[in-house]
Amino acid sequence: MSAPAFASLRGLGTTATIAVTDAAALSEAIDVLERWLEEIDASCSRFRPDSELSALSAAAGAEIEASETLLAAVEAALRAARLTDGLVTPAVGRSLRLAGYDRDLASIGPSARPARLVPAPGWRGIAVDRRRRTVRVQPGVELDLGATAKALAADRAATEAAETLGCGVLVSLGGDIRIAGPAPLAGWRVDVDDAHDALTGRAQALLLQTGGLATSSTTTRRWRRDSRELHHILDPRTGAPAAGPWRTVAVAAATCVDANTASTAAILLGERAPAWLAERNLPARLVRRDGFVIPVAGWPEEPKAA
């Protein structure tokens, strides 16, 4: 087996990286990753007029036939909603659109138009019929699968590449990480920080052997409306950006979908987050607005400053 190798590309509006423990397998691993990025984008993008999700939004309450990928993505999003009492909900699409996140983030410029902050409707108006392979959304409900669909893509790409290529694989989609197959001897080294592509120098370096790791932060994916600065983690109860005590929350879990669900929920749970994560044995790193770090449920302590 040769040395590990990795490659990065753009996908789902972020940086996608795939690393393999066998450099000879890198080319095929990239193919697997590209296929999953396209698959998830074609099914779940809110900004592509030809996506299945756009067709579902235009269906005005009618049932539509869905691909296996969309079915899986909606099911993952509904499970996230159920396990977080609706905090991490796919029904937040309209709230995001009215707040100004109505196109790919890179193309959102400053606007003088004030943001409209509206609560998200209930997620129980979204129904998947697995037997008939259909999805139906109540009129007025707009879906946003962003949180869980990207994590799902990381899960699917990593596990498929590891199974078909027979080596260890790490997939990172904008910092949503999934590890599958045998890890390198010491583990995969990952730096955890506020932003995956702009490490601040305050990052904590970890070694991971398996599972998923996701980090949610209010410091990234921001835009300006009128004089107000907003970010992408909206509280579905109010439609306003989360304003709790946490700047960044990173969570390790069995899968990237579970890690992402928990890290997003923790930002919205506020002070209750550490206990909520500990009850579920989910190792996590919570960073307060002032930079103070709280490790939970077995997350390693920060190294002491020299």
What are the DSSP calls for 236-249, one per residue?
Answer: TTTSSBP-SSEEEE
Please select the residue that binds another protein; options are 58, 60, 127, 254, rule is CB under 8 A.
254
Which pairing describes strands 169-173 and 211-217: parallel, antiparallel, or unpaired? unpaired
Residue type, 89: T
Size of interface with another protein, in residues (CB under 8 A): 78
Separation between Cα atoms, residue 261 and residue 215, nearest integer Å: 10
Identity of the residue, 121 or 212, whose beta carbon is nearer to another protein in the bound complex: 212
Distances (CA, A) of 39 to 53, 67, 206: 12, 10, 31
The footprint of another protein on residues 286-305 (CB under 8 A) is 297-301, 303
Looking at 26-34, 54-62, 90-98, 245-253, which segment touches another protein (CB under 8 A)? 245-253
Identity of the residue, 19 or 99, whose beta carbon is nearer to another protein in the bound complex: 19
Residue 176 in tokens: 């949503």
Identity of the residue, 91 or 190, whose beta carbon is nearer to another protein in the bound complex: 190
Separation between Cα atoms, residue 193 and residue 272, nearest integer Å: 22
The footprint of another protein on residues 63-102 (CB under 8 A) is 67-69, 71-72, 75-76, 79, 83
Identity of the residue, 100 or 146, whose beta carbon is nearer to another protein in the bound complex: 146
Residue 154 in tokens: 């990381």
The footprint of another protein on residues 157-176 (CB under 8 A) is 170, 172-176
The footprint of another protein on residues 179-238 (CB under 8 A) is 186-199, 203-221
The footprint of another protein on residues 98-157 (CB under 8 A) is 130-131, 133, 150
Identity of the residue, 97 or 280, whose beta carbon is nearer to another protein in the bound complex: 280
The minimum distance between CB 258 and another protein, in angstroms, equals 5
Looking at 13-21, 26-34, 44-52, 57-65, which segment touches another protein (CB under 8 A)? 13-21
Looking at 11-19, 26-34, 90-98, 118-126, which segment touches another protein (CB under 8 A)? 11-19
* Residue 262 contacts another protein per CB under 8 A: yes
Identity of the residue, 111 or 281, whose beta carbon is nearer to another protein in the bound complex: 281
Instruction: For residue 4, report the phi and psi dihedrals to the nearest 5 degrees.
Output: -60, 155
Separation between Cα atoms, residue 165 and residue 262, nearest integer Å: 30
Identity of the residue, 100 or 174, whose beta carbon is nearer to another protein in the bound complex: 174
Contacts 24+ apart (CB under 8 A), 260-263: 260/147, 260/148, 260/150, 260/151, 260/176, 260/212, 260/214, 260/216, 261/79, 261/80, 261/83, 261/84, 261/88, 261/147, 261/148, 261/151, 262/214, 263/214, 263/215, 263/216
The footprint of another protein on residues 23-62 (CB under 8 A) is 39
Residues, the chain, total?
306
* Residue 10 contacts another protein per CB under 8 A: no
